Amino acid sequence: MFAGQVVFLIIACLMLGAAVRVVTSRRIFHAALWLIGSFFCVAVIYMLLESPFMAGIQLFIYIGGIAVLTVIAIMVTKGGMHPDSHTLGNGWSAAIVSISLFIVMAWTITQLGFPNEPGMPVAEEGLALLGAALVDPGGYLVPFEVVSVMLMVVLIGSLYLGRER
Amino acid sequence: MIHPFAVVGLFLVVSLIFGVAPIALAWLLSPKKLNPRKQQVYESGNPTFGETWIEFKPQYYLFGLAFLAFDVEAAFLFPWALAYNQLALYAVFEAAVFLGLLGVSLVFVWRKGWLEWM
Amino acid sequence: MTGLGGEVIRTLLGAFAMALFPLVVVVFLIWEARKVIGRMQDRLGPTNAGTYAGPFALFQTVADGIKILTKELIIPTGADRGVFVAAPILVVTVAIAVWAVIPLGPTGLQVVDLDIGAFYVVAISALAPFSMIMAGWSSRNKYAEVGAFRAVSQIVGYEIPQVLALLIPVLLTGSLSLQDIIRAQDIAFIFVVPLAAFSFLIACVAEVGRLPFELAEADSEIVAGYFTEYSGMMFGAFYLGEFINNLTVSVIFSVLFLGGWRGPWVDQVPWLGAVWLMAKALLVFNVLVLFWAAMPRLRIDQVLAFNWKFMVPLGLVELVTVAIADKTMESLGVAQGWERSAGLLVANLVLGLAIVGVLSLVGREAKRRRSFRRPGVGAA
């Protein structure tokens, strides 16, 4: 348990450091790379919470999908690749927004009653249970199909915007 | 008994060592006689001209978005595939609808000609 | 406490051995690939003429490796130094990290048998495009940047048919653990779901950027693609990473579709599993090498069109077909053993025939349209 806490502290510090670098980097490409580092640390924290599937999702979707997309977006934006193009136009308002967001989230987390007994029993076939619940009409069938509709909208919408005009 | 995830973590550290070691070794062994001509960016023997960090076609981004849609879909399919043996036939049809919607929209954008590379 | 310490040391040693394993195998794979390609091109490939490189120049790669260690590491002016150096490190790290879950044998010959082994492979591979983006961007070279863009759009796109094909063995096994997937293959899955194996193989070739999908490092167009500016061991790291990836996809293909370490006498002599697995992987690797020697290179629009208009639809249709066919058979009472496999094989063959039929119709239509158009263009 102690070793786990040490690893958690190290990873949390790395994650916060990377997150700070995302904001302070002069080059926006560096910011994107630090963002990936931060995502990776989140994946490690999921591993520490004994939730390997979430860790895999973190790598698979956030790093393999969203971060790639972010980098591509930077590379296709006019002037986005330019060194030192990253200027903080209005630092104060950004700071106020993010600090108030932080306060709201921290307050929400403290209000939630998290179970705090150590070593919550994990179902043996947890992932298969999740899979069964996804297609169970009494479970999450409707959200599951709605996700599909949403992805359909993403696919059609994005290619519609980029069509030849 | 070491926890399996700790072993994975250890292995990641070991593979990082294997990534760093050859380059560190080469850095120790290699000569360091730099000069400006050696350090020029290669551009078929010509001096470089113009801007290098140019922006590319937005089409790369759109294909990236299309990829993301399928990526998220695949992530949902992993638990479903694991649970497959316990599922009834109608549950499989539900997943088929899930896949089919994306398949239909792929065919739709294809018929519209939006998948063409410009 | 000493027990735990001993265990940590044993795990570390095992991890080192497992990480070293692909490196050692790759040294000989490079030699083998060069020999085969040499023969395909009516050359001898590496020989030990002049200098001594062992029988059949077996240790040529070792000599090359030592030479490359003594070459100067040049970082071009204007390059982003930190990212530039990090990219080759990341390439090798990611290539090796996948080996944590690869089962070389029934017991012991594996670092850790994760419950989500197959997903781990996919998730770690998701880091791979970044080494290319980082290399291409930080070099500040136009060729490198073009190469990085091609690499990313190709690798990212082909991840989808790869994952869709990977889901089929998972679905048939009901487990993501690579050991369970191997144990379930009383009949190798390539004979049960050949279409999935086919699309997985093609997607893997694209993922590792072998010909005909080599356009990210097309040497006749963009010098060496994203690693144009790299020299010495940093170039060597990209080369090494590429070959490790080739070996890895060969091994993963063998695990998922060829029965992994299964073979005669493995029950008595567990380490024989590694031999069988490597033999199967070598077979797959040689398919890649033959592609490499025989195929022309595709254009980027062709690569993307092939993915989105053929591989992704094929993956979707194959997944749905297998899932429904299997469940239908189960509700008809054919759930176990060779009958299930035979039924799935029939479903696959029917689907394959249908696809070939559709493709030939489409091809005929395209040909007809072309022959209508051509005289007009010629006359003008």
Q: What is the pLDDT of residue C380?
A: 40
Distance CA C18, CA C89 (A): 18
Interchain contact B69–A (C-beta under 8 A)? yes
Is C158 part of the contact surface with chain A (CB cutoff 8 Å)?
A: no
When pLDDT is averaged across residues C69-94 and rounded to a whole number, the result is 86
Q: Is C362 exposed, middle or buried (0-12, 13-18, 19+ CB in 10 A)?
A: exposed
pLDDT (tens digit, 9 = 90+) per residue, C257-316?
988 888 888 778 778 888 888 999 999 999 999 988 888 888 888 888 888 888 898 999
Whether the predicted pLDDT of C1 surpasses 60: no
| CA–CA distance, C346 with C351 (Å, rounded to integer) | 8
Predicted confidence at residue A14, as pLDDT, reads 92
Q: Which residue of A has its CA nearest to B55?
A: A76
- C-alpha distance from residue A1 to each of A6, A8, A162, B10 (Å): 9, 10, 52, 17
Distances (CA, A) of A81 to A28, A84, C137: 8, 9, 9
Window 10-29 of B, Cβ < 8 Å to A: none
* Beta carbons of C197 and C189 less than 8 angstroms apart: yes
Q: Do B26 and C145 touch (CB under 8 A)?
A: no
ipTM: 0.85
Is the Cβ–Cβ distance between C252 and C220 less than 8 Å? no
Output the six-digit token pair for C130: 């970044």
- Domain segments of chain B: what residues? 4-112
- The domain spans of chain A are 1-109, 125-165
For the stretch B8-35, pLDDT in tens is 888 888 999 998 998 888 888 888 787 7
Region C108-132: what's the mean pLDDT?
84
User: 0.80 exceeded by the pTM?
Assistant: yes
Asked whether the beta carbons of residue A30 and residue C134 sit closer than 8 angstroms, the reply is: no
Verify whether the Cβ–Cβ distance B59 to A151 is below 8 Å.
no
Chain C within 8 Å of B103 (Cβ-Cβ)? yes
> How far is A106 from C11, CA to CA, in rounded Å?
40
- The Cβ of residue A31 has, within 10 Å, a number of other Cβ atoms equal to 17
Q: Give chain B positions within 8 Å (CB) of A3.
A: 6
Q: How many whole angstroms from its chain centre is CA A31?
A: 15
What is A1-109's CATH number?
1.20.120.1200
Give me the residues of chain B with pLDDT under 50, please.
Answer: none
Chain A positions touching C167 (Cβ under 8 A) are none
CA atoms of C155 and C244, how far apart (whole Å):
16
The structural domains of chain C, with segments of one domain joined by +, span: 15-299
Q: Say how far apart CA C145 and CA B50 lie, in whole Å.
A: 14
Question: Does C126 sit within 8 Å of A60, measured CB to CB?
Answer: yes
Among residues A33, A30, A37, A35, the alpha carbon closest in space to that of A14 is found at A37
* Residue B68 CB neighbour total at 10 angstroms: 21
B84 touches chain A (CB under 8 A): yes
Contacts of A100 (CB under 8 A, 6+ apart): none
CB C118 within 8 A of CB C98: no
B49 near C CB under 8 A: no
Please give the pLDDT value at position C282. 92
Residue C311: count of CB within 10 angstroms of its CB: 21
Tokens, residue B104:
């239909």
Top-tier CATH class for B4-112:
mainly alpha
State which residue of chain B sits closest to C115, comparing Cα positions.
B4
Distance in Å from the first CA to the final CA of chain B: 57
Whether the per-residue pLDDT at A65 is higher than 70: the answer is yes
- From the CA of A64, how many Å to the nearest CA of chain C? 4
| CA-to-CA dists, residue A147 to B73, C145, C246, angstroms | 8, 35, 35
Contact present, C114 and C177 (Cβ < 8 Å) = yes
Nearest CA in chain B to A4: B6
pLDDT at A1 over 70: no
Rounded Cα–Cα distance for residues C100 and A142 (Å): 37
Mean pLDDT of chain C: 84
